[in-house]
Amino acid sequence: MPKRLALLLLRGAPATGLPSPAQPRAARYWPRLALSLLVALALPLLGVGVGALQARWLLQQRADAVADNAIIKLDRMITNGEMAGKAVELYAGRPCDIGTERVLQRQVATVPYVRSVNLSLRGQLYCTSLLGAVTETIDAAAYTDGRLRLRPGNITTPDVPVLIVRRPVGDAAILSVVDGRYLQTALQLTAQGSELYFRVGASHMDSQGRVGDGPLPPLPHATATRTSAHFPYSVVAGSPDGAVWTYMLEYNLALLVLTAGVGLFGGLLCYRLLGRPSSPRAVLQRALDAGQFEPFVQPIVNADDGVWAGVEVLARWHLPGEGLIRPDLFIPMAEQTGQILPMTRELMRQVAAALAPHVAELPPRFHIGFNISAAHCREPRLLDDCRDFLAAFPPDSVELWLELTERELIEPTDDTDLLFQQLDAIGVKVAIDDFGIGHASLNYLQRFAVDALKIDQSFVKRIGADTLSAHLIDTLAALATKLDIDLVAEGVETAAQRDYLQALNVRYLQGYYFGRPMPVGEFIHAHRHQRAAAETPAQPATSQ
């Protein structure tokens, strides 16, 4: 495993690119994708929501202002019609002679917006500024409040809308005609993008100058209705369907683009963050769930005849994309996070499942050693794990060894005393690992009823090189004999080391000279060969 990766792993949450354990990748992929999409969409949706609210509010403001303005402008125009009528009031009902005609024409010429001024008597139009004397029936009831009438045209200009302002004087009336084109221009200039209607009775005119009867077309958004305080008409301003979107795209495009961009960024960030292992604990848990830890076993041999007497179980991590990871890179992390307990349990389960079917081929009371940490000794469940392990084999066919490293001595308490008594009662053996580099006292060895000492490989390596190591091994051998404790020498790599340790009556040897750590299946094959060649020393194996 690359050193960089190991460092990242040991430091905890890696900054970049630590490949996450792959197995339940599919199971993790969809929630990760779904959450990332949710994040990516949430902000744009919020942006659209806020934008839509703002657009509605602004459209409503605009409609209110448009309606108010329209009333002011239209009142002013209609007042002109009203004034023209008032100015010729004395002529109402008078004969339509040249004098009367002139008076009417003067109003048309002088009063803004007024196209013609006409007189009627008892329902008959009889005098107009444009044509002089005429005869036409007038329907007074068609006038709203008897005062205003909006028409698509009249006899002189059938295609030009007109607003007729009626001023009743006794039996007679004055009809001032306001040109519809002025009304239309006023509506058009006021509308500012809103839909705007001028409504007189059942008739209405839009800002394009079209006059119609009946209900107004629907204005679903931001509608404002105003009624004139002086004349019987009203205006309605509002926005048609889709106006909110059009408005947003026109005025809030920057906000929409910004929120979409930030949403996309957030979604990608979320996807990336969720994809990286969040903590060493999460990394290990996924690896455990994915079954990426595998037990390798290394033979332990009888020093006197070279026969394989047992194995030490050594954890290996198959990290996808990274290959096999050495235990010293992840065991400290597993100890810190507490996952060493389930990990050891899993190794025990796998070893039992793989070795139990072949137990008949193994020597009687075959040793199977597991490395345990201080955390295990605070955990009463260790007893159950050991029981379960032993129960997988026929009674007394194997011996379970627990190796406690001397580098990390466990605190003796009443609970640990009880645990070790119970372990002893079910036949579990205890070995002190890496012996010689820590501070285990005689008292300590006795209190834990230690069955074996494993001489640290640093001393074995120096056999023949310095006298101090040889002296220490000699002393240990004497101590072991005195305490009736077995000795195991680790890290035996040469025949010379083997011979030296054999001569000192060290009972068990372990090291590359006899066999490297290997998968259990490979071990079973190798053991068959070893049995066949029991008399000759084993060749160094090739597994790692």
Q: Which is nearer to Ca ion, 101 or 434 (CB)?
A: 434
Residue 229: in which H helix or E strand, if any?
none
Q: How many residues bind ligand C2E (CB under 6 A)?
A: 26
Is residue 248 a contact partner of residue 256, using CB atoms and an 8 Å limit? yes
Question: Residue 54 has which token pair?
Answer: 């703002």
511: left (phi over 0), alpha (psi -120 to 50) or beta: left
Residue with Cβ nearer Ca ion (266 or 517)? 517
491 is a site residue for ligand C2E (CB under 6 A) = yes
Q: Which of 195/403 has CB closer to ligand C2E?
A: 403
- Among Ca ion, ligand C2E, none, residue 327 binds (CB under 5-8 Å by kind): ligand C2E
Task: Reduce the secondary structure of 483-511 to three states and give it as a string.
Answer: HCCEEEECCCCCHHHHHHHHHCCCCEEEC
Instruction: Return the residue of 101, 399, 403, 406 that touches Ca ion, per CB under 5 A.
Output: 403
Q: State both tokens at 80.
A: 């002109």
Per DSSP, the chain holds a count of helices (H) and strands (E) of: 17, 21
* Structural contact between residues 62 and 55, judged by C-beta atoms closer than 8 angstroms: no
385 binds ligand C2E (CB under 6 A): no
Nearest to 298 by CA among 454, 459, 497: 454
Among 259, 371, 469, 530, binds Ca ion (CB under 5 A): 371
Contacts of 484 (CB under 8 A, 6+ apart): none
Closest approach of ligand C2E to the CB of residue 396, in Å: 24
Q: Does 406 bind Ca ion (CB under 5 A)?
A: no
CA atoms within 13 A on the CB side of 510: 26
Closer of 234 and 344 to ligand C2E (Cβ): 344
Region of 225-233, 379-387, 435-443, 488-496 interacting with ligand C2E (CB under 6 A): 488-496
Rounded Cα distance, 398 and 416, in Å: 24
- Residue 234 sits in the site that holds Ca ion (CB under 5 A): no
Partner from Ca ion, ligand C2E, none binding residue 21, C-beta < 5-8 Å depending on class: none
Nearest approach, Cβ of residue 504 and Ca ion (Å): 18
Nearest to 428 by CA among 436, 419, 441: 419
> How are strands ordered across the β-sheet holding 172-179?
132-137, 124-128, 114-121, 172-179, 162-169, 148-151
Residues 313-342 that bind ligand C2E (CB under 6 A): 314-315, 326-328, 331, 340
Report 360-379 residues binding ligand C2E (CB under 6 A). 371-373
Whose Cβ is closer to ligand C2E: residue 315's or residue 463's? 315
Q: In this chain, which of 146, 201, 512, 524 binds ligand C2E, going by CB under 6 A? A: 512
Out of 36, 154, 184, 298, which residue is the one contacting ligand C2E (CB under 6 A)?
Answer: 298
The number of residues in the chain equals 544
Shortest gap between Cβ of 356 and ligand C2E (angstroms)?
A: 19
25-87 vs 243-251: helix crossing angle, rounded to 10: 100
Q: Which does 191 bind (CB under 5 to 8 A by kind): ligand C2E, Ca ion, none?
A: none
Q: Does 497 bind ligand C2E (CB under 6 A)?
A: no
**What count of Cα atoms within 13 Å lies in the side-chain half-sphere of residue 193?**
12
Q: Draw the binding track, 472-501, toward Ca ion (x: CB under 5 A; -: no contact).
A: ------------------x-----------
> Which DSSP category does 231 fall into?
S
- Restricting to residues 422-461, which ones interact with Ca ion according to CB under 5 A? 433-434
The answer to whether the CB of 367 falls within 8 A of the CB of 396 is no
What's the distance, CA 476 to chain centroid?
A: 59
> Closest distance between ligand C2E and the C-beta of residue 315, in Å?
4
- Site for ligand C2E, rule CB under 6 A: 298, 314-315, 326-328, 331, 340, 344, 347, 371-373, 403, 405, 433-434, 457, 490-493, 510-512, 517
Interface residues toward Ca ion, by CB under 5 A: 371, 403, 433-434, 490
